[in-house]
Amino acid sequence: MLDVRRLRVLREVARQGTLSGAARELDYTQPAISHHIARLEDEVGTALVVRAGRGVRLTEAGERLAAHADDVIARLAAAEDDMAALAGLRSGRVRLGAFPSATATIVPPAVAAVRAAHPGVSVSFVELEPPEAIALLRAGELDLAVAFAYPETADADGAGLERVRLLDDPLVAVLPAGHRRARGRRVRMEQLAGETWIGGCERCRRHLLHECAAAGFEPEIAFETDDYVAVQSLVVAGVGVALLPALALRSARNPGVVVLEVASSPFREIHAVLPLASRRPPAVTAMLSALEDASAGL
């Protein structure tokens, strides 16, 4: 393989017409220029430079190789610019997926911060529940996912992926205003044992069952929806109670519900999930940092 440094020397000799001129431009000694030309001639097996008066000129082989050298060096310069652009976040992309309550709270300020600081970075987003987001992440169709998990199942998505903890999202009891427990600030799960419950997504229902079992009862789940606005409307209508993440209530809270802390302090973990890699693309690193800042702001 030809040495790029020697191709640079040949190109400069062609430009300057003398070995001394090439040495001056490249900050080499003249013997070093002569050495590089000789080694290059050995590599290609033919003469590249001949003397012409007080200077030198390229042979036909030298001219052809110098033309190739221009192309090679131009491509290397373009590659260096491309990498510098990515390193400096003048370009790049990040494809983000997140679940609904993160979409309404964490994601907007993070996306806005990346776009403001790095306008050359292309940011795209799709709203997905964690299982779908993780599947697209594994398939290479997302660069980063914001997902949640509950402590008893937190390792379910972890194989082959990196998880960066963003925050712990407490779960709260959501009751209608006229409920007998609505006057307090805190409730124990066992105090809600006889209630009709409104269940959420599959992961949330599993966690509700886990919390109720720990409190010694099996809940009667009569309604199921992962729409937090609909859950609150059902609560206001008096048809059931619910266990909801505080993040969901931050994004949309019905004034007709009463929210109480739960004595057992249930919570879900919210993570940024990324493919395992020794080095992340700069745009993904910037988005991760923005998500951490947005989460800290909550």
| The last residue of a domain, from among 58, 87, 116 | 87
What is the DSSP track for 14-82? Answer: HHHSSHHHHHHHHT--HHHHHHHHHHHHHHHTS--EEEETTEEEE-HHHHHHHHHHHHHHHHHHHHHHH
In a shared domain, residues 191 and 275: no
| The last residue of a domain, from among 70, 87, 104 | 87
Residue 116 burial by Cβ neighbours in a 10 Å radius (0-12, 13-18, 19+): exposed
Which is nearest to 182 in space by CA: 235, 136, 222?
Answer: 235
Largest CA distance in the chain: 107
Which is nearest to 273 in space by CA: 92, 102, 93?
Answer: 102
Structural domain range at position 153: 93-167+269-296
pLDDT in the model for residue 279: 73
- Within 10 Å of residue 27's Cβ, how many Cβ atoms? 7
- Tokens 């030298």: give the residue: 62
In a shared domain, residues 99 and 212: no
In a shared domain, residues 179 and 256: yes
In a shared domain, residues 26 and 65: yes
In a shared domain, residues 233 and 262: yes
| The last residue of a domain, from among 62, 87, 112 | 87
Q: What angle do CA 95, 99, 101 make, to 5 degrees?
A: 125
In a shared domain, residues 148 and 202: no
In a shared domain, residues 187 and 261: yes
Which is nearest to 270 in space by CA: 157, 143, 173?
Answer: 157
pLDDT in the model for residue 87: 72
pLDDT in the model for residue 290: 97
275-292 burial code (b ≥16 CB/10 A, e <16): eeeeebbbbbbbbbebbb
Q: Per residue in 95-114, pLDDT tens?
A: 999 999 999 999 999 999 99
pLDDT in the model for residue 160: 78
In a shared domain, residues 183 and 261: yes
Answer for the pair 121, 92: CB distance below 8 angstroms, yes or no.
yes
The CATH number given to whatever domain includes residue 28 is: 1.10.10.10
For residue 243, what are the contacts with CB-CB under 8 A and spacing of at least 6?
171, 172, 173, 174, 197, 204, 207, 208, 211, 262, 266
Q: How far is CA 133 from the centre of its chain?
A: 12
Identify the segments of the chain with pLDDT beneath 50: none
Dihedral, CA atoms, 187, 192, 193, 199, nearest 10 degrees?
-110
> How many domains are there within the chain?
3
In a shared domain, residues 104 and 149: yes
The CATH number given to whatever domain includes residue 136 is: 3.40.190.10
* Cα(244)–Cα(48) distance, integer angstroms: 77
In a shared domain, residues 177 and 259: yes
> What's the predicted TM-score (pTM) here?
0.73
In a shared domain, residues 124 and 247: no
In a shared domain, residues 282 and 162: yes
Residue type, 23: A
* Cα(136)–Cα(97) distance, integer angstroms: 9
Q: Per residue in 216-239, pLDDT tens?
A: 999 999 999 989 999 999 999 999
Answer for the pair 102, 270: CB distance below 8 angstroms, yes or no.
yes
Q: How far is CA 66 from the centre of its chain?
A: 43
pLDDT in the model for residue 88: 72
